[in-house]
Amino acid sequence: MAELVILGSSGWMPQDGMQTTSLALRTGDDLVLFDLGSGVARLRREPLRSLLPADDREIHVFLSHLHFDHLIGLTFISGLWQNPTVVHVPPAVGEVSGPEVLDALFGGPFYSHPFSELVPAISRVPVGPGEWPAGRVTVKAWGQDHPGGSLAYRVGDWFAFMTDTRDKPDAAEFARGVQVLVHEAWSYDEDAPRPLARRRAATVPPPRWRGWPSRQAPASCCSATSRRTARTITSGC
């Protein structure tokens, strides 16, 4: 049995009761989180707190990219769990690696503790396109089109998570055949980037986005963004 909970799916900032992106995948004893937006704070209270595994079980976190709305929840985790934690960090821009960016963000002046002290046993490892083990789960990563880059993730034929991305011709192939597709896309009326205030998160890709995976890749459940409350999807996989 696998359980997927959408803890947050708002892009950019929390608004109208929606939290920024974080997904929890619980399979057996394993908890794998995808992005740590503000939605991860929902693990503080029941019933979602019961998603946390036993204290000695490792929790894996896969970040899609390093924009604040997808990682602000890293600053919450000492208040959420004490489990051993592995954070899979995508590449950063330019010469600085993703793990180095995290080191720079924690400790003064941005936070009162260094990354290594967020919980008693925490590590950060680089992640890029390919397949990565996380407990008994194998996570497949694929590069998307986003300023600075972002990674889409897929777990078997169970689910795919594609956030913060624009059209990319082979995006549909990455998600093809999954049971659940969680897809967040930014809408532009034209190809040229627009000021932030004129962007909007899309709940349903408009027809002109012919390459969007949620239109091209058959999935028995396509979950769009902007949920106000945590949403649970279960499967017998």
| Interface with Zn ion (CB under 5 A) | 67, 164
Question: Minimum CB separation from Zn ion for residue 26, in Å?
Answer: 25
- d(Cα 85, Cα 20) in Å, to the nearest integer? 21
Residue 90 or 135 with smaller CB distance to Zn ion: 90
**Residue 68 tokens, joined:** 């604040």
Residue nearest to Zn ion according to CB distances in the complex = 67
Residue 30 has, within 13 A of its CA and on its CB side, a CA count of 17
Question: Minimum CB separation from Zn ion for residue 73, in Å?
Answer: 15
Q: Each residue of 109-125: b (16+ CB within 10 Å) or e? A: eeeeeebeebeeebebe
Question: Minimum CB separation from Zn ion for residue 97, in Å?
Answer: 18
Residue 131 has, within 13 A of its CA and on its CB side, a CA count of 7
Selection from 144, 143, 118 nearest residue 61 by Cα: 118
Residue 148 or 177 with smaller CB distance to Zn ion: 148
Question: Minimum CB separation from Zn ion for residue 108, in Å?
Answer: 26
DSSP-derived secondary structure for 126-168: E--SEEEEETTEEEEEEEE-STT-EEEEEETTTEEEEEEE---
Question: Minimum CB separation from Zn ion for residue 92, in Å?
Answer: 13
Residue 1 or 196 with smaller CB distance to Zn ion: 196
